[in-house]
Amino acid sequence: MKALRMGLRVSCVMSLLTLCVLVNAWADESKGDAKIIKIGAIVTVTGPAAAGLKDMADAAGPAEEYFNSKGGVTVAGQKYNIKIIAEDDQSNPQGALAAANKLISRDEVKFILAPIIPQNNIAISPLCEKAKVIHLRFHGVGGKEEINPDLHYSFASYMNLYNAPFAYDYLVKNYPQVKKVAIIPVDDPGGVTGSEFGEKAAKAHGLQVVAKQFYPFDTQDFNPILTKVLDKKPDAIDISVGIVVWGAGIINAARELGFKGPIFAPTPLGDMDVLASMIKGGPQAAHDIFITAPDMHSPKMTPMIKEIVPLLEKRLKTRARMDHTIPFETLVLLLSAIEKAQSLDTEKVVKAWENMKEIDTIFGKGRMGGKDLFGINHVVIRPVPLSRIVNGKVEHVGFFEKKD
């Protein structure tokens, strides 16, 4: 009898365990039984560039929430949600490399949203390539050090080198009196490359480049630099490459020194509303300024921008800014490529991604390109927004698209 009772107890326990397993399995199935894809993000939270780039780190959580609320991504019938693991690059290459090491060795990520600062992205490339980790660059100026046939796992959500012709088209069309241009880029790899493309676009439009003045990464007082530049009597100033605080510094110094001509940037320095708010001297100074950046709150923005702006403002308790959208821009591309490959194998994702004829972006339909400038189709080509500041107010001008 004792053995029988023991057998019954064991049988009951096993039945209960089986029931629990079946209930849990049913519960998981009813929830979609989603697994997790870990995605690293190397962002800038500290250091001299943080003031212009920290918004990307702040928006990582809302971006994760947004894509998971849309169902994440499905691969071979399996649903996956995403988990973003963010690391600070501290505004320097050493910090970026330390962040990449942590993400790859500790967190075992196979996908990294790479840093926007060119030298930081360059620093992590060898490590990512060796580990076969896809590193998708946040949009930036970009040079062949960041995208080339030897960097098999490197992609870019957009390269601003393609913007220079659009900016100069707008300049000559709207300011026919301009004949001489000064270019003022930051002294880093992106600034060097960006200024070269600006100079090429200026000459292609029949303009003379009378000055090309670089400034150090940690510059705060731009008056000495603008004094030198204005001695060359330019009709327009191309800010070239930088972040919003540097752009505002250049504009304020130029206006304080009496320059009244157009000031523009072929690269998105940052949020247009923030830039407008930082310009001193009232509407007269905040005028004749245009940049290849979106007016985030324009009714002419794309459906996706209109959808994510309220989400950002609800979560972050602040007005949505351009750099808040960058994690959304990169993630929609990465997830599209994974879904196209129907695999988490980075080699298969690379092959699928570089051959995509069409890809959704936050600014509308895009496609893969880059072979013309970089020798490999690892750059997303998408519509480019252009906005201007007129009498202190930001206005959406339109979208421009690169034609083959």
Q: Are residues 204 and 137 in the same domain?
A: no
In this model, does residue 340 exceed pLDDT 90? yes
pLDDT (average), residues 238-265: 95
- 261 located within any domain: yes
In this model, does residue 402 exceed pLDDT 90? no
pLDDT (average), residues 1-23: 37
Domain interval for residue 267: 162-298+387-400
Q: Are residues 395 and 249 in the same domain?
A: yes
Q: How confident is the model at residue 166 (pLDDT cuts 50, 70, 90)?
A: very high
Q: Are residues 279 and 320 in the same domain?
A: no
- 195 located within any domain: yes
Query: Which stretch, 108-122, 180-194, 336-350, has highest mean pLDDT?
Result: 336-350
In this model, does residue 14 exceed pLDDT 90? no
Q: Are residues 243 and 392 in the same domain?
A: yes
Count of domains observed in the chain: 2
pLDDT (average), residues 257-271: 94
- 349 located within any domain: yes
Q: Are residues 156 and 305 in the same domain?
A: yes
- 168 located within any domain: yes
In this model, does residue 375 exceed pLDDT 70? yes
pTM over 0.85: no
Residue-wise pLDDT for 66-95, tens only, equals 999 999 999 999 999 999 999 999 999 999
- 68 located within any domain: yes
Q: How confident is the model at residue 141 (pLDDT cuts 50, 70, 90)?
A: low
Residue-wise pLDDT for 196-215, tens only, equals 999 999 999 999 999 999 99
In this model, does residue 23 exceed pLDDT 80? no
Q: Are residues 72 and 137 in the same domain?
A: yes
In this model, does residue 22 exceed pLDDT 90? no
Q: Are residues 187 and 173 in the same domain?
A: yes
Residue 48, pLDDT score: 85
Q: Are residues 309 and 373 in the same domain?
A: yes
Q: Are residues 226 and 362 in the same domain?
A: no
Residue 17, pLDDT score: 37
In this model, does residue 313 exceed pLDDT 50? yes
Residue-wise pLDDT for 112-122, tens only, equals 999 988 889 99
- 335 located within any domain: yes
Q: What is the mean pLDDT of the chain?
A: 89
Residue 401, pLDDT score: 85
Residue 32, pLDDT score: 52
pLDDT (average), residues 224-252: 95
- 26 located within any domain: no
In this model, does residue 13 exceed pLDDT 80? no
Q: Are residues 134 and 247 in the same domain?
A: no
The dihedral through the CA atoms of 205, 207, 208, 214 has a sign that is: negative
Measured between alpha carbons, how far is 383 from 166 in angstroms, rounded to an integer?
Answer: 11
Strands of the 35-43 sheet, one edge to the other: 73-75, 78-88, 35-43, 111-114, 134-137, 154-156, 379-381, 364-369, 359-361
In this model, does residue 24 exceed pLDDT 80? no
Measured between alpha carbons, how far is 264 from 284 in angstroms, rounded to an integer?
Answer: 16
pLDDT (average), residues 178-200: 93
Window from 41-45, 64-68, 241-245, 248-252 with minimum mean pLDDT:
241-245
Q: What percent of the chain has pLDDT over 70?
A: 91
Q: Are residues 200 and 258 in the same domain?
A: yes
In this model, does residue 53 exceed pLDDT 80? yes
- 22 located within any domain: no
Q: Are residues 166 and 288 in the same domain?
A: yes
Q: What percent of the chain has pLDDT over 90?
A: 78
> CATH no. for residue 361?
3.40.50.2300
